[in-house]
Chain A
Amino acid sequence: GESVGLHLPTLSVQEGDNSIINCAYSNSASDYFIWYKQESGKGPQFIIDIRSNMDKRQGQRVTVLLNKTVKHLSLQIAATQPGDSAVYFCATGGFKTIFGAGTRLFVKA
């Protein structure tokens, strides 16, 4: 079956530094990928998405990189802020959204 996994369960960064969160997926047929942010006790919040015909997409302070050859996805957050502290999930989408395990990001002031 399809699975989406993450390399690191927790990530601690200094405020102002860049953060990189990694994700591996298993289904080579996946054609749509999404990153979500989830704060404690809340639903997931859309951050950025990318389709399989792209290898990079930028948003405001965030960049998603897709490497289809090794089935790897990453989320880069520039100038990480305390408000970025949350759990980040990668997911494969389309009709259904399947979530990866999640990485908790701690931002140290």
Chain B
Amino acid sequence: GIQVEQSPPDLILQEGANSTLRCNFSDSVNNLQWFHQNPWGQLINLFYIPSGTKQNGRLSATTVATERYSLLYISSSQTTDSGVYFCAAPNFGNEKLTFGTGTRLTIIP
């Protein structure tokens, strides 16, 4: 099945800094999602982005499907951005979303 790898595993930043999180996947996909798991454990949908670029406020994401990677950009980080960021992709024609192991982001005031 598809393999999903995320980097870096941990990231500690000062409030106001910018960050880039990376997601590599091993096979072609029709669907790629980014999630934020907040400190209370809730999984929040950030982006559904099989290809191209999308922006939502301080967050944006780019997926280059032909090169099998996706990037999540967070600008002007706030302490509420802390948590774990997951990307996930399905095997083609398969119901299972395969999750990466996540990037734990800690924003220091």
A, B in one complex: no
User: Which residues of B does A touch, CB under 8 Å?
Assistant: none
